[in-house]
């Protein structure tokens, strides 16, 4: 396996695979633009690291590409790379780079798009996968299972149709940032009412963690869980009505809509 452009996310994935015992250090090569960065990756991960993307791809059967969208064509759209990747599996985590674009550059490579998010760094990530269902670039069920295994090492995975990946980029990739804004705002409210800042942030963060766990573990609709907390004439319904006055549902839904539009323009 090789990881092209092994930045923060690539390092998290490699580390997760090794901690899970699914990848030995001598079975992976990572690349970086600068030799100094490659050397640091070698020291931290104990894996081979290089600035030579082509050589790394030639020696691997699975290639995880963690490049910025703007660098994809420069690295992948050439005959040498097409030859090196023919018949192999390439997994891209770049926002906005579609499977159609990848297929134009690499017509004989099995392709999977993946959109992880930053909680992968602590093993609590969400990664969504997309693949074509036919043609020479369609990944097999076995290759999809391999991709799922890779990202299961740093969290949870799901699969959607490729046409939905821009929405996934917004909801999943950008979603943590939107949550941080809400978390900070709730903590600010606690500070305004007298709580120390560190206590307010800890409470708000644990509230988000616990509430998310309730949704995932109970399979109840969020509205049903909300109603369990909302007693007649109580403080919770008073706060919820204030949120509704501020059109919070519409604002959050439109946030995802607008971020999705931008995601579609990145490739």
The predicted-structure confidence for 177-197, as pLDDT tens digits, reads as follows: 999 999 999 999 999 999 999
Q: Helix 8-19 vs helix 141-152: angle between axes, to the nearest 10 degrees?
A: 90
- Please give the share of the chain, as a percent, with pLDDT higher than 70: 100
Per CATH, 2-159 and 168-264 having the same topology is answered no
pLDDT of residue 69: 83
* Separation CA 99–CA 113 (nearest Å): 7
Residue 5 — pLDDT band, cuts 50, 70, 90?
very high
Q: Is 96 annotated as a binding residue?
A: no
| 5 assigned ligand-binding residue | yes
Other beta carbons less than 10 A from residue 59's beta carbon: 12
Residue 147 pLDDT = 97
pLDDT at 19: 87
- In the predicted model, what is the mean pLDDT of residues 4-25? 89
Determine contact, residues 96/130, Cβ cutoff 8 Å.
Answer: no
Fold of 2-159: Rossmann fold (3.40.50)
Strand arrangement of the beta sheet that strand 48-50 belongs to = 48-50, 29-31, 2-4, 62-65, 89-92, 110-115, 125-130, 155-159
Instruction: List, for residues 40-99, the tens digit of each pLDDT value.
Output: 999 999 999 999 999 999 999 999 999 888 888 889 999 999 999 999 999 999 888 999
User: Is 8 marked as a binding-site residue?
Assistant: yes
Token pair belonging to 224: 């049903």
Q: What is the pLDDT, as a whole number, of residue 138?
A: 97
Read off the pLDDT band of 267 (50, 70, 90). low
Q: Is the pLDDT score of 28 beyond 90?
A: yes
Paired residues of 129 in beta bridges: 114, 159
Q: For the domain made up of 168-264, give the CATH fold.
A: ProC C-terminal domain-like fold (1.10.3730)
Instruction: Sketch the domain layout of the chain as residue ranges.
Output: 2-159, 168-264
Q: What is the mean pLDDT of residues 157-176?
A: 96
Q: In the predicted model, is pLDDT for residue 111 greater than 90?
A: yes
Q: Say if residue 57 carries a ligand binding annotation.
A: no
Please choose, from the candidates 19, 21, 210, 25, the residue with its C-alpha nearest in 3D space to the C-alpha of residue 3.
Answer: 25
pTM summary value: 0.92
Residue 53 annotated as part of some ligand binding site: yes
Of 86, 61, 73, the residue nearest 137 (C-alpha): 86
Q: For 193-211, how does the pLDDT look when each residue is reduced to its tens digit (9 = 90+)?
A: 999 999 999 999 999 999 9
Q: Which two tokens stand for residue 153?
A: 């090492």
pLDDT tens track for 234-258: 999 999 999 999 999 999 999 999 9
């Amino acid at each position: 396996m090789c990881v092209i452009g092994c930045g923060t996310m690539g390092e998290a994935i490699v580390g997760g695979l090794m901690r899970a015992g699914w990848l030995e250090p001598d079975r992976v090569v990572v690349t970086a633009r600068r030799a100094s960065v490659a050397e640091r990756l070698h020291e931290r991960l104990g894996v081979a690291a290089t600035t030579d993307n082509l050589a790394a791809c030639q020696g691997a059967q699975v290639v995880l590409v963690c490049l910025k969208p703007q660098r994809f064509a420069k690295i992948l759209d050439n005959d040498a790379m097409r030859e090196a990747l023919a018949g192999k599996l390439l997994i891209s985590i770049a926002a906005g780079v579609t499977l159609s674009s990848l297929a134009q550059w690499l017509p004989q490579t099995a392709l999977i798009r993946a959109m992880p998010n930053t909680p992968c760094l602590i093993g609590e990530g969400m990664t969504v996968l997309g693949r074509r269902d036919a043609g020479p670039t369609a990944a097999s069920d076995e290759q999809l299972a391999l991709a799922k295994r890779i990202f299961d090492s740093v969290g949870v995975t799901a699969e959607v149709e490729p046409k939905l990946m821009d929405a996934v980029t917004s909801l999943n990739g950008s979603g943590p940032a939107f949550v941080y804004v809400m978390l900070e705002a709730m903590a600010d409210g606690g500070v305004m009412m007298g709580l120390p800042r560190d206590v307010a942030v800890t409470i708000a963060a644990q509230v988000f963690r616990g509430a998310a766990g309730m949704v995932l573990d109970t399979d109840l609709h969020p509205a049903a869980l909300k109603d369990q907390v909302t007693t007649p004439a109580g403080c919770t319904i008073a706060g919820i009505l204030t949120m509704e006055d501020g059109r919070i549902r519409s604002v959050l839904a439109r946030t995802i809509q607008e971020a999705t539009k931008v995601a579609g323009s990145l490739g």
